[in-house]
Structure 1
Amino acid sequence: MTLAARDLEALSLWRRHLHAMPEVSGEEHGTAAEVVRFLAQTSPDEIVTGLGGTGVAAVFNGEKPGPTVMFRAELDGLPIAELSHDLPYRSRIDGKGHMCGHDGHMATLAGLAFALAERRPATGRVILLFQPAEETGAGAADVLADEAFKRLAPDYTFSLHNMPGIPFGLSWIKPGAANCASCGLKIRLTGKTAHASMPETGVSPAKAIASLIPALTDLRRGTIQGGDLVLATVTHVALGEPAFGIAPGEAELWVTLRTVNDDQMAALQERAEALGRGAAAEGGLAVTFSYHEAFRHCMNDAKAVDIIRRALDGEGLPHVEGETLRASEDFGRFADVSTSAMFFLGAGENHPALHNPTYDFPDQLIPIGARIFKRIADDLLG
């Protein structure tokens, strides 16, 4: 598949338009409307909106019955202020930016839509899913729970993620765990405030918080390569009120827990909570726990991986067996309903990292990703 020069220019301009108007997880109403508007020119047989909140699915039917093959991109940006001040299409939304490349992933799916507009699959159907709220881990679960999604019922689901640090155009693909499981744990400690001149009359959580930070960090063990990585990263701490006259009575600690697979996560949660209860008991404090932004590990099906490898070989594109990424990704939930796999497409060894405030998706990846997706669709559907 080769996209026409005018299509490549249109996709690049559209990607830059999306880059300038980022919306964070759960707020992607304008982005979803823009996807519907842009895809209208490709005349899909059906467009489904409101999936899991703001999700959009474009359906392209084949001439005969066959499998349903779904390709997924993400709608959401991040609450990160963009620092690329000389970029003419830099974010126009204060404090928000497409610092993960989801704008480029959407443009890649649109490139596939251009190809499908020229030639529908011989059998089955292709679904292009633009999913909300990937960054919080809520989007895929919400889409799967939506009654409107149940009739889409993909047999196969594929996705890519651009990856700085990998040579440009090189794909990483492997069966098994592609991304780690992770979740956010909030530990809240409650004692009793006091006048700062008489701290002994209160119950301060200061010592408990001070002991928890290194104790949680020391939970780290294992390696990605060994498949047993356990990681606890303290990301936020709040103690008392911003006042000089009050000895603190409350504190909150946020920690991100990360494991290679879901089975290891329950044990890590148990250890983290035990540390919290121990610190609270020693300080005479009450303690509560709450979990947020839970990501299951992303597991690549071996059959789906073989399909991606054949497509890469068919397009003459380089690929190697990659490694499990520490970063989390909610794409793994689609394994519950379909044969699925994600691969990582190199954005360049010296390209700014994901979530970096100067990150920008390379437009040259759009036709490469679209070619790979189209070859997968052709191999499965004819």
Structure 2
Amino acid sequence: MLTNSDLDELTAFRRELHKRPELSGEEVETARAIVEALKPLNPSKVLTGLGGHGVAAVFDSGVEGPTVLFRAELDALPIQEISDNPWKSEIDGKGHLCGHDGHMTILLALGRQIAREPVAKGRVILMFQPAEEDGSGAKAVVADPAYKEIQADWAFAIHIEPGRPFGYVSTKTGLINCASQGLEIKLAGKTAHAADPEDGVSPARAVASLIPALDGLGQGGKLDDDFRLVTITHVQIGEPSFGVAPGEAVIYATLRTAHDEAMEDIDKDARALAQAQAEKYGLDVSFDVFDAFAASINDPEATDVAVNAMTAIDVESGDFGLPMRASEDFGVFGWGAKAAMLCLGPGHDYAALHNPDYDFPDDLIPVGGAIFERIARDLLGRAEK
């Protein structure tokens, strides 16, 4: 049970995190602040540098049992915050505008409760993951040799999701967040004087053909197993000049699918289209991938555990707004564990995520902490005093 003093201290900590956001892969000071906040809780072990700047606190009962991992994210966004709050970002162009400061604080709330009343068996892992926003962090953490030491049997995460009543949790078995990746397509030809375009090799016609062709690979629609969506997010042909016929072009396309296997297929299809147009117009083509996210798929057993825990503490839940097209870098933890993502509502008419005026509502800290603690107790019990 969290005390009023706990909530005051946790709120103050969350607001300090909010002042000093760090981007994906840069979370040095954030990780250091987390390690300091964990010291009074006396975890059995703290692992640092996981997959970059990841931190994992281990609370080991010393009795054989499952390992239950709870995840939060360390990183912030490259967005200028607009706020009158005393705790607004102090770093220009960066802001905790996706709730990760609140998610970290929820994990610390859980840690306080486990430290006071240890579990009866198994282990609780508080996993502070780096680089969630670009989709690279979870893969790096799981690939880190040190992760084998804390390999989870169960994994849970909470993400704040506007558009839901305060304290309401959306979750369900199956797809929660789509797989996605950013595909960069570069076309290279030869520049020429605009008066003599025939002396060069322009990518303009290839680009003009590729845009509708890529769109045609995925039109969105119903979010079922066949869901595919391609969104053209950026196109550049040559330089902004009236005197030069272009010799280079770049296209950014975001690909989304309901499952990881389908992502492989749509990626191959997109590359094949670009290759065909490059050959047709005498261009070289190259590809690069950015922001690759695995699909987040909730395991049936983990979902039942979470729903039963929330029912026991009178937290309303359902499947409102699910699944979502947006991606989340949690699905990788489900590759080796029974995992469930929980989408926690901040109340109606709350600012959308990634908006410059977003701020995490501190009143959700005890709600998230209570949900996680009940899950931990239901799976691992409470040690006798």
TM-score range, shorter chain: over 0.9
1:7 and 1:27 map into 2 onto residues whose CA distance is: 29
Which residue in 2 is equivalent to 1:34?
33
Which residue in 1 is equivalent to 2:206?
208
Equivalent of residue 233 in structure 2, options 232, 235, 249: 235
Which residue in 1 is equivalent to 2:67?
68
Which residue in 2 is equivalent to 1:252?
250
> Alpha-carbon deviations, 1:75-110, whole Å to 9, x = none?
0111112122x1221111111111111111000001
2:248 and 2:188 map into 1 onto residues whose CA distance is: 5
1:224 and 1:371 map into 2 onto residues whose CA distance is: 34
Which residue in 2 is equivalent to 1:290?
288
Superposed displacement of residue 230, structure 1: 1.0
2:124 and 2:196 map into 1 onto residues whose CA distance is: 69
Which residue in 2 is equivalent to 1:349?
348
1:189 and 1:168 map into 2 onto residues whose CA distance is: 48
CA contact (8 A) 1:236 1:254 kept: yes
Query: How many residues are paired up?
Result: 380
**Structure 1, 238-247 or 163-172: larger mean CA deviation:** 238-247
Local SS of the residue matching 1:164? coil
Superposed displacement of residue 236, structure 1: 1.6
**Structure 1, 211-220 or 369-378: larger mean CA deviation:** 211-220
Which residue in 2 is equivalent to 1:126?
124
> Alpha-carbon deviations, 1:239-260, whole Å to 9, x = none?
2134443221011111110011
Are positions 1:313 and 2:311 aligned together? yes
2:253 and 2:232 map into 1 onto residues whose CA distance is: 4
> Alpha-carbon deviations, 1:17-66, whole Å to 9, x = none?
11111111111011000100111122212111111110001111225322
Paired amino acid for 2:235: V
Paired amino acid for 1:231: L
CA contact (8 A) 1:203 1:285 kept: yes
Paired amino acid for 1:298: S
Q: Following TM superposition, where does structure 1 have runs of at least 4 consecutive aligned residues deviating by more than 4 angstroms? A: none
Superposed displacement of residue 151, structure 1: 1.0
Superposed displacement of residue 282, structure 1: 3.3
Q: How does 1:12-51 map to 2 (within 5 A)?
A: 12-51=11-50
- Which 5+ residue runs of structure 1 have no aligned equivalent? none
TM-score by length of 1: 0.96
CA contact (8 A) 1:63 1:121 kept: no
Q: How does 1:1-382 map to 2 (within 5 A)?
A: 2-62=1-61, 64-84=63-83, 86-322=84-320, 323-382=322-381
Paired amino acid for 2:371: I
Paired amino acid for 1:191: G
> Alpha-carbon deviations, 1:267-290, whole Å to 9, x = none?
211222232123323322221222
Superposed displacement of residue 233, structure 1: 0.9
CA contact (8 A) 1:222 1:228 kept: no
Paired amino acid for 2:15: R
1:37 and 1:242 map into 2 onto residues whose CA distance is: 51
1:81 and 1:282 map into 2 onto residues whose CA distance is: 43
Paired amino acid for 2:343: F
TM-score by length of 2: 0.95
**Structure 1, 353-362 or 369-378: larger mean CA deviation:** 353-362
**Structure 1, 192-201 or 360-369: larger mean CA deviation:** 192-201
1:126 and 1:374 map into 2 onto residues whose CA distance is: 10
RMSD: 1.5
CA contact (8 A) 1:224 1:260 kept: no
- Which 5+ residue runs of structure 2 have no aligned equivalent? none
